[in-house]
Structure 1
C-alpha cells in the first residue's frame, strides 16, 4: 500500500505574520480542492499534518470532512526563525546553503541533518501504529519533505531532490519497504499506479 508526503500549496505571504501562521492563498486552496477530488484522495484512510497553519489547511481540504486531521509538531518545516522572513531571492540562496552544508547551521537555522532526523522519526512514529493496508498522507513542507525523500531514497541530503517551485507537490512511497515510488508530482496531477 502507498503513503504520500504532500507539501502545502501556495501561501499568502505576509512578512508581518510569522511564517508558521501563514494561510494558503486562493490558488493554494484551489489546487488542494482539485487534489481532494482526485480518486486517490478518496482512498486515503489517515491524514497527519504539521502543526503549521498552511499544512493544516491543506490537510483539511484533502480530508474533505470525511477524516479527522491529526497533527504532529515534529513534522514542521526546518526552523528558520533565526533569520525570520527572507525575500524570495535571499531565501533561495539560504536554502541552497542549507542543503549544501547539512552539518552546519545557516545563520542560526536548524541544521539539515537535525531536521531530517526529526521528520524521519515523526513519520516512523506514526507508521509504527498504522495499518499498512491503509493508504496514508502526510501533509507538510518542502524542506523537510525533501529531507525525508532523500532518507527514503538512500541519497545524501541535496537540493536537487527538492520539489518544484510553488509547493503543492507530492511523492509516494511504499508502506511495506519505504521505497520511493514516484518523484515530486503536482498534487492535483498525481495518479495512483
Structure 2
C-alpha cells in the first residue's frame, strides 16, 4: 500500500522532508457534523423542545471522535521535542475517553462567539521555537499561521485549528485546566410582592 506522499504526488517536491516531520492533523469533519447534533451552546440552532437533551450515544460519539483524532496526532509525533506534546495529548485523550464512556447530558463547550473573540497572535511576534502544544508543529512552519492565545495566560498559544475542537467540548485550557468561560448567574426569581397588592391594605 502506498503512502500519503505517493498517493498525492508529493514525492520529490520542495519542503517534503519538513512536511513529513510534522504531525498531520486528522480530518475532523465527522467530529463537527456530530457536534451539530449535540451542540448546547445555544448558537447553532433553536430546538423545538427547550428541555430536550442530546442523545447519550451522540455525545459519546463526539468525545470518541476527538479522542481518536488526538490519538492519531499523538502517534504521528516523534522526537525529543514531541515528548511534552505526547504527554498533553495522552491526558486529553484519557479525559475524552472518560467522557465517552460516561457521557454528560450536555456539551459544556464554548460558543463560536468566544472563539471569534480570542486574541490572535501576529506572525511577526512568533519565534521559530514557538509551537502548538497540541499538534507540536512550529507555528512558523505554516505560511499563514492562525494562532490564538487563551485568556488564562499570555504563554498559552495554540493553532486555532487544534484548540477549537477541544474548546467546543470543554471550556477549560488544556494546559492549566482553568475555566475560560464564566457562566452567567441565572436571574433571580421574580419577587411576588412587587406586582399585585392585597385588598386588605387600605
TM-score (norm 1): 0.31
Higher strand proportion = 1
Higher relative contact order, structure no. (Cα contacts within 8 Å, ≥ 6 residues apart): 1
TM-score (norm 2): 0.30
Larger Rg belongs to: 2
